[in-house]
Amino acid sequence: MASASGNGAHWSSRFAFIMASVGFAVGLGNIWRFPYVTGENGGSAFIVIYLLCAVAIGVPCLIAELMIGRRGQQSPPRSMARVAEESGHSRLWGSVGGLGVLTAFTIAVTYAVVVGWVLAYLYKAAMTGFANYDAVTASADFDNLLGSSGGMLFWTLVGNVLVGAIIFAGVKGGIERAVSIMMPLMFALLVGLGIYNMFAGGFAETLEWLFTPDFSKVGPDTLLAAVGQAFFSIGVGMGGMMTYGSYLPRSFSIPGAAVIVVFADTLVALLAGFVVFPAVFHHGLDIGSGAGLIFQTLPVAFAQMPGGHLFSVLFFVMLAVAGVTSMVGLLESVTNWVDGRVKISRHVGTALVVATVTTCSVVSVLSYNVWADVGVAGMNFNEFTEFLYGQLFLPVNGLLIALFAGWFMLREHSRDEIAASPGIYASWRFLVRFVAVPAIAVILITGLM
């Protein structure tokens, strides 16, 4: 194994690594999408299927990415190239790591704008608590935000500067310190807001929505939804986990860490259901309104509930933490690649990456208003970008990583990195080769179709 990482950085504790990885995996989509998909696909019946998919697909893929990162000890492209060469294969495998960095950058460009929305609504919550909001006001307010290029650019810049400041301070001084505060805060807010909802109304309906098994809804589409959710929600294929893996000391157990990350990611998604949906059910709002649930539906609920001002502030603080920590993982992947590629300091590299993402985000901002009808193949910039990373980049990269780890990386090398009992290693190797690879191929094919 290589003796040093590209910048010499390593996590100082298992806790810091777990918090950073969970922070990267838990994104804004976890807060509303997972509970909604659960209810629409059979409640607890879906949860059981999802957990099986998470164990059989998510955990093996996460282990593979962390393993390659730690063995390569550099940026994703160089780690993949080094491990491939070490196993007697072409360094062209490094392009798989390069695709991960490209995926992270592509996601960051549009995701940064959504994080900006969250910060804008956090400010609005703090100032007004959404007092006197109704459905018409909420819809008009959100439309006004989307129509204001200057406003969206301002909040996008605020979010990117915050993320950049964390990365600028380095792995230990920045990322570790931030996630060690922000992630426990997010968990505390999730639990606290969930307990509040036990008494505020709508809790019984949420329990029924999430945990009443409805096997009539379970079919091929349910299985596909579970496979897709398990793969996409954990954060593999974006270069971030491989980058975080390159900072892992040898003393850390990769399988143990992967299980904890997947479990925590699932727990957050379920807890989010007890924060979001009781208010929706209690006030008779639209549960299937997608991302609009956060910015149009819930503010109406906040306006009507006792203590809604405080609840709204805490809720958007929680969302901001989820968005910022995910952005940190995305941009750390890109910054790490720049550090290894260009002879500049980490500080300059961070500033360059943040400036580039912010500049590209201008196109994303304009695609919500003045450039809404400008695009490729009938899709505007945001739609086309989401198609690229959602239907192409992520599944292709995840498939190639699983394929490489299971079929091309030398067995003794993967066994050395996983450092688990023979039974655990054999289980991982079987799952990554014969379950994860076919499952991700199905995701890719169905997505393109």
pLDDT of amino acid 69: 95
Percentage helix, strand, coil, to 5, in the chain?
80, 0, 20
- Classified as helix, coil or strand, 251 is coil
Q: Tokens for 47, please give them.
A: 């949860």
* Residue 238 structural domain: 14-448
219 in any annotated domain: yes
Helix axes 149-168, 94-128, angle to 10 degrees: 120
9 in any annotated domain: no
pLDDT of amino acid 197: 86
8 in any annotated domain: no
Q: What is the mean pLDDT of residues 256-271?
A: 90
Q: Which residues touch 219 (CB under 8 Å, ≥6 apart)? A: none
Per-residue pLDDT tens over the stretch 355-406 = 999 999 999 999 999 998 887 888 999 999 999 998 899 999 999 999 999 9
For residues 317 and 275, the answer to whether their CB atoms sit within 8 Å is no
Helix axes 149-168, 135-147, angle to 10 degrees: 70
Strand partners, 376: 379
Cα distance between residue 44 and residue 211, in whole Å: 4
145 in any annotated domain: yes
CATH number at residue 273: 1.20.1740.10
9 pLDDT more than 90: no
Distances (CA, A) of 214 to 39, 42, 45, 126: 9, 4, 6, 40
Burial class (CB in 10 A: 0-12, 13-18, 19+), 359: exposed
pLDDT of amino acid 287: 74
Distances (CA, A) of 256 to 109, 181, 236: 32, 22, 16
Q: How many domains does the chain have?
A: 1
What are the φ and ψ backbone dihedral angles of 252, each rounded to 5 degrees?
Answer: -85, 135
4 in any annotated domain: no
336-352 b/e with 16+ CB inside 10 Å = b?
Answer: bbbbbeeeeebeebbbe
Band of pLDDT at residue 2, cut at 50, 70 and 90: very low
Per-residue pLDDT tens over the stretch 278-320 = 888 887 877 766 667 788 888 888 888 888 899 999 999 999 9
Element (H, E) at 380: strand 379-380
Q: What is the mean pLDDT of residues 86-111?
A: 95
Per-residue pLDDT tens over the stretch 74-88 = 999 999 999 999 999
3 in any annotated domain: no
168 pLDDT more than 50: yes
Summary mean pLDDT of the chain: 89
Cα distance between residue 148 and residue 370, in whole Å: 10
pLDDT of amino acid 8: 62
Cα-Cα-Cα-Cα dihedral sign, residues 325, 252, 34, 369: positive
pLDDT of amino acid 7: 52
218-241 b/e with 16+ CB inside 10 Å = b?
Answer: beeebbbbbbbbbbbbbbbbbbbb
For residues 398 and 440, the answer to whether their CB atoms sit within 8 Å is yes
168 in any annotated domain: yes
Cα distance between residue 193 and residue 23, in whole Å: 19
